Amino acid sequence: MTPSEITVTADALALSWPDGLVTLPAALLRHACRCADCRAQALRGTPATLPATIRLQGAEPIGHYALQLHFDDGHERGIYPWGYLRGLGWGVAEP
C-alpha cells in the first residue's frame, strides 16, 4: 500500500493512507532507522545517541516501495519501506 500524499516538515513526516492520516515525529523515525549501522549498534546494545531535537531535512522516493529520509545529524542511509512506515504509524512495526 502506498500513501496518497506525503508531507515532510522538519519535525515530522505525514502520510495519508486510505484509512487515515499518520504523522510520524522526526525523532521516532530516526530512532527506528533500520540501516546496517543502526541495526548493528542496537544489536550490540549501544543504540545511537541522538540530539534532543533531531530534524528531517528531506525525503527521496526509492522506487515505488520506500522513502530514504535525510536527518540534520547527517544520517541518510536508512530506507523506510511503505509497510514499515505504515506499521510505525499504527504502532505495529518492529524497529
- Tens-digit pLDDT profile for residues 21-64: 999 999 999 999 999 999 999 899 988 788 879 999 999 999 99
Tell me the C-alpha distance between 89 and 66, whole Å: 15
Tell me the C-alpha distance between 25 and 13, whole Å: 6
What is this structure's pTM? 0.89
What are the grid coordinates assigned to 34, written together?
Answer: 533500520
| pLDDT confidence of residue 93 | 53
Tell me the C-alpha distance between 91 and 95, whole Å: 11
